[in-house]
Amino acid sequence: MTVVLVHGNPETSAVWDLLSERLGALGYDDQVRLSPPGFGAPVPEGWTATVDEYRDWLVDELEEIGRPVDLVGHDWGGGHVLNVAMTRPDLLRTWCSDILGVYDPEYVWHELAQGWQTPGVGETAIAQRLAIPVEQAAAALADRGMTPAVAARVAAGFDAVMGECILALYRSAAQPVMAELGTGLEAAAARPGLALLPTEDHFVGTDEQRRRAAARAGARLEVLDGLGHWWMTQDPDRGAAALTRFWDSL
């Protein structure tokens, strides 16, 4: 089996470092990390960074691998995973996402996202982020729950291109776009799915929204009690256990 890891915003593939190490120690060493364009990877010419474009990018990457994979996504990476699971299940053996709640019809984007979605406000926020030292940005990520060593690696990857992609991606996903995409959740049940629910992650929907979306997608639910948005850095052992328990059960 091949494990494919896809990260989100405002991240680079370094966010997987600790979890990847634990999975390797458990024998899951066939791993591929895919960095979405703008998030630790170059953007192709003409890139517009929309929800649909990221889905198509991931489809192309998986087709290049050439065999069904165990696809794991975090944050917007989890959104890209769901969008593939709903449209190209033939590319997957299994899928896993921690962002299902954003597909619930009652989901409201969090405050940061609403700022990025607002013309002028978003540009100012990105400019302010670009102006601060990497050390300060890393400290801010750590304050929000990311393990400090990983936060330092991730913060170093933020640049103007990432900022532009953040604005374009979130604006392309302003409601009702996510609610409309969520009408296809049932299609994700074509392949075994795992919905991770870190109880202290308040960016991706309420507990009820996440559970409701997971049920519609036919996904197994794994609660990570006490962990937050960056569960894979806070307790990589628990994250690896949840994933391997799921894979080993199939």
pLDDT tens digits for the chain (250 residues)? Answer: 999 999 999 999 999 999 999 999 999 999 999 999 999 999 999 999 999 999 999 999 999 999 999 999 999 999 999 999 999 999 999 999 999 999 999 999 999 999 999 999 999 999 999 999 999 999 999 999 999 999 999 999 999 999 999 999 999 999 999 999 999 999 999 999 999 999 999 999 999 999 999 999 999 999 999 999 999 999 999 999 999 999 999 9
Burial class (CB in 10 A: 0-12, 13-18, 19+), 10: buried
Do residues 96 and 72 make contact, with C-beta atoms less than 8 angstroms apart?
yes
In 10 A of CB 149, how many CB atoms?
Answer: 14
* Amino acid letter for position 12: T
Hey, what are 129's tokens?
Answer: 């982020």
pLDDT of residue 121: 98
Run of H or E residues at 93: strand 92-97
Backbone angles phi, psi at 154, to 5 degrees: -70, -45
Question: Does the predicted model carry a pTM greater than 0.75?
Answer: yes
Asked whether 141 and 151 are in contact (CB, 8 A), the reply is yes
Q: Given the DSSP bridges, would you call strands 193-198 and 92-97 parallel, antiparallel or unpaired? A: parallel
The CA distance from 120 to 117, in Å, is: 9
Strand partners, 37: 41
Res 164: pLDDT: 98
